[in-house]
Structure 1
Amino acid sequence: MPKKSVSPTTQWKKVEKQATQVLGKGSAGRYQEDLEPRVVPFSAVPDVAPLLPAEYVEFIEALGYRWLSTSESTLGFLPPRWRVSLSQQTGVPDRSWDEARAEREAGTHTYAFVMFAARDLEDVNGFAFGRGTQGDGLVVWSVEESLPLEELGPFSTWLAEELDSMAESLQGAEEGATGQEPPDLAHASLPAVGKKKAPAAKAKGAFALFDRFPRDSKELLFNGRKLGELPPVIGEFTELESLWVRTTGISHVPPELGRLKKLKKLDLSFNPALAELPAELGNLESLESLDLRQTGVKTLPDSLERLRHLKYLDLQSTPLTTVPPVLFRMPWLRALDLYSTTLPPQELEKLRLALPECKLGLN
């Protein structure tokens, strides 16, 4: 007789029961459906329903957004808003990120992949649904450093292999052993503090995360990941053109950032603990856009007057109480956002006269 197929739901329950018996109740759990990510990069939220296969939908309806952790592996299913956030940060094979990002910002992008599961959210590694290359069916793709790389088959096949591997690792585990930490959607941070058996990359903090990327990368996107710091190693990425570190908890920008002579876009926004900028920022000779929105920056270094290519500067919702003097010496600016600041009206009028070609965003 042919072997009776087992549903993904039944398989998961079986391995979860095995894990909790061996490792304890802390080896499995369920994320709240309404759990909010730290950031949703683009305002236009995609309709991901067409990219969710029926067997996955049935699994989620039955079990919710579960996570499971053994001594060797971790797997967690993303709640809806996290699914959107990571999908917006996922690239498209054979297309430049600049092109995809522009479409997503404009709300015209047709999403080909949707992230649905992860092992380590801080690296945007995990699994996405997308069309298979041999047909129209939806299959699981492995995602590494934000890019879908390899087809792994239908959802049920992929999950069965994942669970078989987890079950095998549990057979050799001693009762009461410690499992890996689950993908911490609500409190993910670098470095990992006080966690048992934390992966080496986490134990070494933000440096380890940056160190994984090629030094000739043209763009690095870390929006929403709790870096805690912008490490000095950033100075080694001399080919970088775009750096996105929005909502990352950084409080300091290292002088090494000034080595990035090709950097055009720098987003430091939504980091309220960031109060000062190094003078070396004036060495970013190619910089065109600087976003400091909702940071703690109270003034700007005079060295910014060397940024002759800077066109867009966002200082919205910063604690500025006086117009930084350097702004009066930057007539090449074309857009300067000062919404939600408490700047004196007389200073703003002087600034308007000093920057006649610049569009000022005021309260």
Structure 2
Amino acid sequence: MVAKKAVKKAARKSGDTSRAKEWKRLEKQFSNALGKASMGGYPAELEPRGMSFEHAFDPSPLLPPDYLQFVKELGYRWITTGETALGFLPPRWMLNLSQQMGEPGRKWEAVRAEREAGTHTYRFVMFASRDINDVNGYCFGKSEDGDALVVWNVEDSLPESELGPFSTWLEQEMQALGEALSELDEEREDADDEELGEPLGLEGESLEMAVAVKLPKKGGAEGVLAAFSRTEKELTLNGRKLGTLPASIGEFSELERLWLGSTGLKQLPGELGRLGKLKRLDLSFNRELRSLPPEVGQLQALESLNLKNTGLTSLPEELGRLERLTFLDLQATELKSLPACLFQMKSLKTLDLYWTPIPPEEIERLRQALPDCKVGTL
């Protein structure tokens, strides 16, 4: 058991030592208590599989000097107990999650329209996270009392309250992490570290550092698929302006992960249902995609379906047949009421309904029907 007094002393120590040194000292305590799987860092070059919007922005006016010095010395580090975690986001991930945040006092539809058009002025930039799925964590923005840059708490993709300057916030976070470490019970400390490791899942959600296949510039969507072996287990096509998904996608019989975010898709072929081993399907940020083919109900291995920021107004009833689906993202879709199929999906653990105009009473009925599912709403 790490001594609580020693942890607090290390976290609070200041003066001639930098915050970066205090963080290193805290990492050492985590490593000694829980092993090396409890701490680590993200490569600065880590690239999300797809950006939320085509138009990026320059975050530098929103990044305070003490934060810049911290990441200059340390890079983008993370710490986890398996239950409590904090990770500092590398640059492209900062932009990606910042694009997914709303703004206090504004409707998401208006914010989204500006970001799609490239006319939005960003007031906040997310720099650290506890949970990227629900966009929870911390961002920088100007104080409501002036122009000073302060840390804001982000809950369910919305900046909620000011937490003070970066250095003050960081000291408090390190103290909280130290206390979480010191309060672990004996059973948890003696357990193996299977629950530990990179806490935000950024590396699994990012592009490979080296791209093995050079995609053709011409030949349309069919030409793009022709560049890949039919035995591929993963296809990452985020950002490619496909427009359509060819029927030949059904030939990829070994496919387990298919990433089609921001590809300009307007419809999907029924042949998609032939992907019997597909576990993860990402169709996010295809605003002209209005419906799914009924054949999606044949994807019996599917565990995760991301439909965030699509133009969907309904879901096929066949979706209710997906007995292994545990994650479904319907954030910022055009759904005005809950499709009946959702009430059949007893395996769901996470359902994201943020920024949808679905009536609260319908959502409450769904919560009653799916008591084991976390239903996120605003």
Normalised to the residue count of structure 1, the TM-score between the two structures is 0.52
Percentage of identical aligned residues: 49
Q: Decide whether the 8 Å contact of 1:124 with 1:146 is kept in 2.
A: yes
AA partner of residue 96 (structure 1) = K
Q: Deviations over 1:290-312 (max 9, x none)?
A: 69xxxxxxxxxxxxxxxxxx9xx
* Equivalent residue number for residue 299 of structure 1: none
Inter-partner Cα distance in structure 1 for 2:167 and 2:74: 15
Give the match's secondary structure for 2:40.
strand
Kindly indicate whether residue 133 of structure 2 is the aligned counterpart of residue 122 of structure 1.
yes
CA shift at 1:38, angstroms?
2.1
Query: Structure 1 regions of 5+ residues with no counterpart?
Result: 190-223, 225-244, 253-264, 279-287, 292-309, 311-363
Indicate how the Cα distance of structure 1 residues 75 and 4 shifts in structure 2: closer, same or farther if over 3 A, else same: closer
CA shift at 1:11, angstroms?
1.6
Q: Deviations over 1:147-179 (max 9, x none)?
A: 000111111111111110111122233555546
Kindly indicate whether residue 81 of structure 2 is the aligned counterpart of residue 66 of structure 1.
no
Kindly indicate whether residue 148 of structure 2 is the aligned counterpart of residue 137 of structure 1.
yes
Indicate how the Cα distance of structure 1 residues 4 and 158 shifts in structure 2: closer, same or farther if over 3 A, else same: closer
Alignment equivalent of 2:105, drawn from 76, 80, 94: 94
Give the match's secondary structure for 1:127.
strand
* Equivalent residue number for residue 11 of structure 1: 22
Alignment equivalent of 1:24, drawn from 25, 35, 56: 35
Q: Which structure exhibits the higher relative contact order, with contacts defined as CA atoms closer than 8 Å and separated by 6 or more residues?
A: 2
* Equivalent residue number for residue 78 of structure 1: 89
Q: Decide whether the 8 Å contact of 1:46 with 1:111 is kept in 2.
A: yes
Inter-partner Cα distance in structure 2 for 1:82 and 1:133: 26
Kindly indicate whether residue 83 of structure 2 is the aligned counterpart of residue 53 of structure 1.
no
Matched ranges for 1:196-211 at <5 A? none
Query: Structure 2 regions of 5+ residues with no counterpart?
Result: 1-12, 207-237, 239-258, 263-267, 274-284, 298-309, 314-333, 335-378
AA partner of residue 48 (structure 1) = P
Q: Deviations over 1:41-63 (max 9, x none)?
A: 21111000000111111111101
Inter-partner Cα distance in structure 2 for 1:68 and 1:60: 15
* Equivalent residue number for residue 163 of structure 1: 174
Q: Deviations over 1:309-356 (max 9, x none)?
A: x9xxxxxxxxxxxxxxxxxxxxxxxxxxxxxxxxxxxxxxxxxxxxxx
Give the match's secondary structure for 1:83.
helix
Give the match's secondary structure for 1:276.
helix
Inter-partner Cα distance in structure 1 for 2:137 and 2:26: 20
CA shift at 1:80, angstroms?
0.8
Q: Decide whether the 8 Å contact of 2:37 with 2:196 is kept in 1.
A: no
Kindly indicate whether residue 195 of structure 2 is the aligned counterpart of residue 184 of structure 1.
no
Q: Decide whether the 8 Å contact of 1:73 with 1:180 is kept in 2.
A: no
Give the match's secondary structure for 1:122.
coil
Indicate how the Cα distance of structure 1 residues 176 and 24 shifts in structure 2: closer, same or farther if over 3 A, else same: farther
Indicate how the Cα distance of structure 1 residues 73 and 48 shifts in structure 2: closer, same or farther if over 3 A, else same: same
Instruction: Compute the RMSD of aligned alpha carbons.
Output: 3.4
Inter-partner Cα distance in structure 1 for 2:196 and 2:172: 19
* Equivalent residue number for residue 37 of structure 1: 48
Alignment equivalent of 2:122, drawn from 108, 111, 116: 111
Matched ranges for 1:297-336 at <5 A? none
CA shift at 1:266, angstroms?
7.7
Indicate how the Cα distance of structure 1 residues 176 and 155 shifts in structure 2: closer, same or farther if over 3 A, else same: farther
CA shift at 1:99, angstroms?
1.0
Inter-partner Cα distance in structure 1 for 2:163 and 2:200: 21
Inter-partner Cα distance in structure 1 for 2:311 and 2:56: 24
Indicate how the Cα distance of structure 1 residues 110 and 170 shifts in structure 2: closer, same or farther if over 3 A, else same: same
CA shift at 1:274, angstroms?
7.5
Indicate how the Cα distance of structure 1 residues 246 and 131 shifts in structure 2: closer, same or farther if over 3 A, else same: farther
Count of aligned residue pairs for this structure pair: 212
Kindly indicate whether residue 287 of structure 2 is the aligned counterpart of residue 276 of structure 1.
no
Q: Decide whether the 8 Å contact of 1:30 with 1:65 is kept in 2.
A: yes
Q: Decide whether the 8 Å contact of 1:24 with 1:176 is kept in 2.
A: no
* Equivalent residue number for residue 375 of structure 2: none
Q: Decide whether the 8 Å contact of 1:130 with 1:141 is kept in 2.
A: yes
CA shift at 1:247, angstroms?
3.8
Normalised to the residue count of structure 2, the TM-score between the two structures is 0.50
